[in-house]
């Protein structure tokens, strides 16, 4: 995949995530600066989601750990357990008592 293709796919994913967070209606603050999306919950916990250009991955950092996702077969797959990015984000939000829908 070219750098341009990766950047477009990753930026589309970050935009979808940001929009979904903005629409979730919970006590969540979402700030984007370039290729980094910082999510802060009412209890002070954070999730950081960013585009990592060198490895062509989307990285997620949360209290429960760090996760790396690569674009494969039309889905962002975890390098660790082959899980899917959006499913992991829904799970991480649920851990904070928030509901997130990424349709």
Q: What is the mean pLDDT of each run of 10 residues along the chain (103 residues)?
A: 95 92 82 93 92 96 94 93 93 86 72
Q: 52 CB contacts (<8 Å, ≥6 apart)?
A: 58, 59, 68
How far is the C-alpha of 57 from the C-alpha of 42, rounded, in Å?
28
Give the chain's radius of gyration (CA, Å).
13
pLDDT for residue 103: 63
Global pTM value: 0.89
pLDDT for residue 15: 93
> Domains of the chain by range and CATH?
3-92 (3.30.920.10)
């Amino acid at each position: 995949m070219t750098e341009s293709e990766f950047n477009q796919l990753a930026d589309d994913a970050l935009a979808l995530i940001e929009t979904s967070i903005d629409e979730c209606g919970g006590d969540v603050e979402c700030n984007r600066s370039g290729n980094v999306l910082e999510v802060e919950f009412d209890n002070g916990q954070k999730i950081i989601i960013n585009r990592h250009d060198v490895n062509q991955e989307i990285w997620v950092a949360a209290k429960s750990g760090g996760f790396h996702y690569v674009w494969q077969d039309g889905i962002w797959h975890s390098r660790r357990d082959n899980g899917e990015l959006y499913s992991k984000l829904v799970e991480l939000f649920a851990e904070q008592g928030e509901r997130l829908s990424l349709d």
